[in-house]
Structure 1
Amino acid sequence: MKSRTEVSAKLAPLAGDDGLFAMLALDQRESLRGMLAGEQDAGAITDADLVEFKDLAKGILTPHATAVLLDRYFGLNGEPNHGIASGCALMLAADILHQVPGQPVQRTEFDLGVTPAMIRETGAVALKLLVMWRADQSPADRRPIVEPFLALCAEADVAAVVEAIVVPPEGGFGAGARDEAILAAAEELAPGADLYKAQVPGYAPGDTSGVRSAAERLTAAIDTPWVVLSNGVAAEDFAAAVDGACRGGASGFLAGRAIWADTTTEADRRAALEGRSAPRLDRLRRVVDEASAARALEGTR
């Protein structure tokens, strides 16, 4: 019989019966436009194309996830439960992403259009805010984004999920600097959140050997449960990265690209999502279960 990881009442709808998180991210906007474009100009991809892909992915993948993250621009529709499978909770993005189509996000802001009334209408049980974290900025620079987000979550009585992406300085991160930035961002932004979403610490392309120890440092540094995202991790490395992170104290994942990005340019996206992405999601869910069980067992020795 599986052991259960205890979660708060606000987080329980996002988790599986075991208290762990296997969550699907489908809130990408202009970055998805670039992925769908492939080698053609991103301007050729219409808003309707984004909606179509998200609707297809929701229908195929949400039966395999504990929760799904959607944006209000292209992710919600008039279908019952927005096309999300029963048993999969809705998390709504509450951020505005500033980016050139097909390029990384440059900055974010709190989306004032997300209100308590909208949250009730959508049925969302959690909100997510992305923060671009820069070491050369002070926490005071980020408070105007984070504080109103946390206040809205409290007013609407939904879980607050804060995500940080650390932005490299000009010239890139030096040895170990990325991990230190990920840790510093977590120490600053996790307090006040119900769940924290972090880049995989200790990861280098093709090498996940440092993930567990870096995850243990992050777990020790914050009191908030946390999950990993797949940004910056090669798809073929992500399962091993999730394993290391969960053995180090993470409670699962909230990921998109590593699960479905390689289906976006397929002629038959449905077949690719069914044949590749759904099995990946199932495998990742097993990885979370097994790694978390192994960590719990080690804790009893």
Structure 2
Amino acid sequence: MPSKITPGKLEGLKAVSNERGVIAAAAMDQRGSLKKSLAKEKGVADLPDSALIEFKELVTEVLTKHASAILLDPEFGLPASKKRNGKGLLLAYEKTGYDAATPGRLPDLLDVWSVRRLKEAGADCIKILLYYTPFEKSHVNDLKHAWIERIGDECRAHDIPFFLEFVGYDVHGEDEKGIGYARRKPDIVTGSMEEFGKEKYGVDVLKVEVPVQMEFVSGTKSFKGEQAYTRAEALEHFRIAASSTHKPFIYLSAGVSNPVFIETLELAGESGTTFNGVLCGRATWKDGIAIYAKQGAKAFEEWLNTQGVENINNVNKALEAAHSWYDKIDVKEPALA
């Protein structure tokens, strides 16, 4: 049953989608991790905030010509938001990273921001990142559930779409790049989608990981020799995860390379899931980090205009398999026009 949608939420979703009702958005809200990567490539301990701001401006200015929207953070991304070629804007509301000193990867909101303030800063949609696994201790997940309920209510009050991104992790502290985690990942992704699709959270779009680790899928180009799933099993994992919610959902690129992400989207298409687009960051611009750090802004801009544009066009081509979110919401045709 499609869910009811209010006028403000409908307007916000349309602002970040293409004419087909597919979300073809670029992501540029990395903060701590991006700063570390840039500093490492430059061979310095730290970089001034101005470098982060400039990097975001360049990515936004070039890539929004080929995207339906851009996801930015209000800490370093507001100057970039002025260069988005008239495309939609999602703003992040959470602090970067998580408190490593406390178990459970607990989230936190930005101190001087609220949904009201993000909307006033030009946001069409609000995005939250949550580290989540259904297999965490129940008191930890209870904290996270309450936290998401509060944000959902805040977005309802301001009638703005709420995008929830959840990233899984291993409760046993195992390496999330290993085969053990790869085998558990389908249940983590499916369980998370099932949980946050519940109406009480007020989430409008689920931003989800794909339910498999591509390098462990035999019969794919991404396969590296160690099998966690056959190609047929991987396709089934996509279908099971997709059927766990009636909400619109989009895939995130999770830092994989452009070719791996493209093959992932091809697999999603082949599986027949009704995914509604992507919010894709590093699979588009990650390889430009070294260019910016070592050769400067001009060289990075040239790289973006060639390789960066090629990367995002690859993603757009793969999005031909995506479905419109219109089918998942209860709204009459005239309202969509």
| 1: CA distance, partners of 2:285 / 2:196 | 28
* Counterpart check, 1:264 vs 2:289: yes
Q: Classify 1:272/1:179 alpha carbon distance in 2 versus 1 (closer, same or farther; 3 Å).
A: same
TM-score by length of 2: 0.76
| 2: CA distance, partners of 1:187 / 1:123 | 31
| 1: CA distance, partners of 2:182 / 2:27 | 30
Partner of 1:119: 118
Q: Which moved more, 1:284-293 or 1:17-26?
A: 284-293
| 2: CA distance, partners of 1:164 / 1:145 | 13
> Is the Cα contact below 8 Å between 1:15 and 1:22 reproduced in 2?
yes
Within the candidate set 14, 19, 26, 2:21 is matched to 19
* Counterpart check, 1:85 vs 2:88: no
Tell me by how many angstroms 1:121 deviates: 2.3
| 2: CA distance, partners of 1:211 / 1:85 | 38
Instruction: Name the SS for the 2:107 alignment partner.
Output: strand
CA displacement, residues 200-235 of structure 1 (integer Å, 9 cap, x when unaligned): 112332249355322211121101110111115333
Tell me by how many angstroms 1:113 deviates: 2.9
Partner of 2:268: 245
Within the candidate set 182, 192, 207, 2:189 is matched to 182
Q: Classify 1:89/1:175 alpha carbon distance in 2 versus 1 (closer, same or farther; 3 Å).
A: closer
Instruction: Name the SS for the 2:71 alignment partner.
Output: strand
Bigger RCO (CA 8 Å, 6+ sep): 2
* Counterpart check, 1:160 vs 2:167: no
Q: Classify 1:291/1:96 alpha carbon distance in 2 versus 1 (closer, same or farther; 3 Å).
A: closer
| 1: CA distance, partners of 2:91 / 2:122 | 9
Higher gyration radius (CA): 2
Partner of 1:170: 173
Q: Classify 1:35/1:99 alpha carbon distance in 2 versus 1 (closer, same or farther; 3 Å).
A: farther
Instruction: Name the SS for the 1:127 alignment partner.
Output: strand
Partner of 2:256: 233
Partner of 2:130: 131
> Is the Cα contact below 8 Å between 1:37 and 1:265 reproduced in 2?
no
| 2: CA distance, partners of 1:118 / 1:256 | 24
Please show how residues 35-50 of structure 1 align to structure 2 within 5 Å: 35-40=37-42, 43-50=45-52
Q: Classify 1:47/1:163 alpha carbon distance in 2 versus 1 (closer, same or farther; 3 Å).
A: same
CA displacement, residues 85-108 of structure 1 (integer Å, 9 cap, x when unaligned): 11x1000101012359xxxx9542
* Percent identity between the two aligned chains: 24
| 2: CA distance, partners of 1:193 / 1:270 | 36
Instruction: Name the SS for the 2:89 alignment partner.
Output: strand
> Is the Cα contact below 8 Å between 2:98 and 2:108 reproduced in 1?
no
> Is the Cα contact below 8 Å between 2:25 and 2:69 reproduced in 1?
yes
Q: Classify 1:217/1:265 alpha carbon distance in 2 versus 1 (closer, same or farther; 3 Å).
A: same
Within the candidate set 58, 61, 65, 1:59 is matched to 61
| 2: CA distance, partners of 1:233 / 1:263 | 14
Partner of 2:208: 198
| 1: CA distance, partners of 2:61 / 2:243 | 38
Q: Which moved more, 1:271-280 or 1:132-141?
A: 132-141
Q: Classify 1:43/1:99 alpha carbon distance in 2 versus 1 (closer, same or farther; 3 Å).
A: farther
Partner of 2:235: 212
Q: Which moved more, 1:138-147 or 1:64-73?
A: 138-147
| 2: CA distance, partners of 1:189 / 1:291 | 21
Within the candidate set 276, 279, 294, 2:310 is matched to 279
| 2: CA distance, partners of 1:21 / 1:94 | 19
CA displacement, residues 24-83 of structure 1 (integer Å, 9 cap, x when unaligned): 110000111122123455632121110010011111111111111110000002x8x521
Instruction: Name the SS for the 2:127 alignment partner.
Output: strand
Instruction: Name the SS for the 1:48 alignment partner.
Output: helix
Partner amino acid for 2:169? V
| 2: CA distance, partners of 1:107 / 1:265 | 31
Instruction: Name the SS for the 2:313 alignment partner.
Output: helix
> Is the Cα contact below 8 Å between 1:14 and 1:21 reproduced in 2?
yes
TM-score by length of 1: 0.85
> Is the Cα contact below 8 Å between 1:202 and 1:213 reproduced in 2?
no
Q: Classify 1:271/1:211 alpha carbon distance in 2 versus 1 (closer, same or farther; 3 Å).
A: farther
Q: Classify 1:232/1:273 alpha carbon distance in 2 versus 1 (closer, same or farther; 3 Å).
A: closer
Aligned residues: 281
Gaps of 5+ in 2: 216-221, 224-229, 328-337
Partner amino acid for 2:245? I
Tell me the C-alpha RMSD between the 2 structures.
Answer: 2.5
Instruction: Name the SS for the 1:84 alignment partner.
Output: coil
Gaps of 5+ in 1: 1-6, 297-301
